Structure formats: structure tokens, C-alpha cells
Structure 1
Amino acid sequence: MTGDRVADPNRSYHRDDLRTQLVEAAADYVEHHGHEDLSVRKLAQVVGVSPGAPYHHFPDRRSLLIAVALTGYDRLLGTHRGETSALPEDGLMDLSRHFIAFAEENPRIFSLMYESELTRPFLEPAIAKAQSEGFAILRAAVSSVGEQIPDEALGFRVAAYWSLLYGFTLLRSNRMLQRDHEIGEPEGTEVVDAVLRQAIRLVKD
């Protein structure tokens, strides 16, 4: 889906089906090329519809990017909605591993979700809502580790863990962790697990 296709004027689409196709095609484009040069007109060309057809669903480029980013959040959060683990630390580890793996496997979608025009200088409301859901899942996982503490202290604990998790994820994604005799291969799962165990240990105390 990386090449351009000419729109077929005799081809008809159900409105809901077209929206789904547009979002899927846009997500595929972002996965392969990034979001920076994606436009509604270019998307129409990729899907093979008239230039004006996508505007029935997405009035502008920003609304299209929001839809793509939200599919990313749905994939990221979907497996952890309502999920519980017998051992709290295992649950937090699994949640953290999943976040890191998602960023590694979907770097351009991840960038759109967290490091794009949708998040700065102001956070898009729909993106803020999705991030709040993710933060609530993380908060529940962190709160289950260690002794129960007041909400204010828990808030700082969650913020500390999120800072460690997100910072480590970005360092790996940007290849800013170098191999050495102490850390070993920073891309390896052993290093990921060791860092996460240390992070959990820090917020438990």
C-alpha cells in the first residue's frame, strides 16, 4: 500500500466502510513512511477514491491523524483493559514490556501518538483522553505493587515509574543506550527486564 493508485470513478463505497478503509490505509502509510507528509488528498490517491471522498469523514489532515493515533492507542491498551495478574509485580512487568515492545515494533505510529503535532504544543483532547486511560491502567498496576499509600504519594510514585518507563523506551528507540561491559546489549530482552525490575524496586520502596 505504498504505491499510488488511480481512483476508479465507477467504484462505490459504503460511507462507514470507506472511513475504515481510509484509517487503515493511513495507518499503513504512517507505519511505512511516517506521518509528516501524509495528506487527505494523498490518502484518496492511495485508497483509489475521488479526491473529495475522504473529506466526508476527515475535514482536514489533523482529524485524519487523530483517527490514526487513536487506533494505535486502541492496539496498545486493548490487551490490558480489565486485565489482572495473580502476582502484582508480574502484571506491572507485562504491562511495561508490552509498552516497550509496541514502541519498538511500531516506531512511526508511536511517534504520532506521543511525539507529534497532536501532543505539542498542546495535547489534542481525544489524545489526552486515550493517554488518561493508559495512565489509569498504569496507576492501577503500580498501586498494586508494595504497600498501600495515600493517593498523593501514589501519584508521585506513578509519575516516577512512568518517567522511567517512557524515558527508557525513548532511549532505546533513539539508539541512545550504548553497549558496554556492564549493560551488555541494550536491545536485548535481558536488559529490558533488568531495567524494569530495577524501576519496580525503586517505586516499591
Structure 2
Amino acid sequence: MSWFEESIMARKGVAKGQTLEKRTITEAEQGSYPYIYTAGIEPVLTVDPGTVVSAETHDAFEGAIKSETDKPTEILNFPFLNPQNGPIYVNGAEKGDTIAVYIESIVPRGPQPRGTTVIMPEFGGLVPTFETALLTAPLPEVVRKLDITVEEGTKWNDKISLPYEPFIGTIGTAPIAEAISSLVPDYYGGNMDLPDV
């Protein structure tokens, strides 16, 4: 028996872990991507429990960084980062319910180089900011564009490639009376960067 068959989702969930329907959200169907979690946004898709949803997503910068010569501090508009798919309304879900979501796969799409990683002054967990004073000076602004494939992984250069191990950056449920930035993690989920998912 697999871990999934033994999971609470499969044993006690409304759909009992079964796939009952398949739906998609393309970029065209999504339209604009919200940057907040709130009940005040109309759902893009309404599904029944047990529905498998395939969604075309954007990167955390919504594709704004095109090349390694771009300057994120000049291009990006904080706090409008981490665009979210949805909202997706689940029929029958009520306040206080737990929504169990199984991430089946994450597959890169779009032209190469697909991946973007940046270092920005005063942004990130390992850099000095106005809230986390460190004895080091701010790191220089750097952009790396990377070729990413499922088969060959993340190619940093001709000598270094890392295995393809994608993960969910942000996922969550909408608070009823709040509008919370998709940059923030909390009781509703949000920006959790879950390497185990």
C-alpha cells in the first residue's frame, strides 16, 4: 500500500483520493494573476472534490526578468511578486474545513532559458536588510537565467547541472475578511517554499 492510499485524504476525504474529473487553467483562462489571498476575488474555476487541475503558472517575477543584464530593483514592483493561479472554488467546502491538495507533478514550460534566479540588495533570508542587520554589506545585484529540463535538470554552466527538483512556492486558502500578500506565509498557507512537495 502506498503512502497516498494510507493518507487522510484517501481514507477520510470527500473524494476518497479518487480522480473524478480533470480540468485546466490556461494563461488565457486565468487572465490576470492575483498577488493576494482573499475571498474578494471571483473564482477562475469551480470544481468538485476529486478534481485534478492542471494550471499554467508564471514564475515569481511573472516573466518580467528577461535577461541576465536586467536589474530586478528597476523592473520589479514590490509587493507585486508571486502571482497566483485561481482562485479555485471547491464545491461543498465550508469555513473551517481542511482542503487536501495532492501535487501530482510540476513540469517546466516556455522557451529556454526557463529558470530565473536573482540576488537583490536587501531581499532574501541571507542578506542584510533594514529588519535583519548583519555586518556584511548588501550583496551585488545578480541575475542568472538557467536552462531547465526534467531530464537534464538545472544547468548552471557547462560543468554544473543540478537534478530537477521543483517545489511549490505558494499555495493557500483565502481568508474571509483579509487580503494578504502572496509574499507572506501564515495560517492560510501562502509563501511557504515547500521543498518536500
Please give the TM-score of this superposition, normalised by the length of structure 2.
Answer: 0.29
Q: Taking CA–CA contacts closer than 8 Å with sequence separation of 6 or more, which of the two structures ends up with the larger relative contact order?
A: 2
TM-score (norm. length: structure 1): 0.28
Instruction: Please state which structure has a larger fraction of its residues in helix.
Output: 1
Task: Compare CA radii of gyration and give the structure with the larger one.
Answer: 1
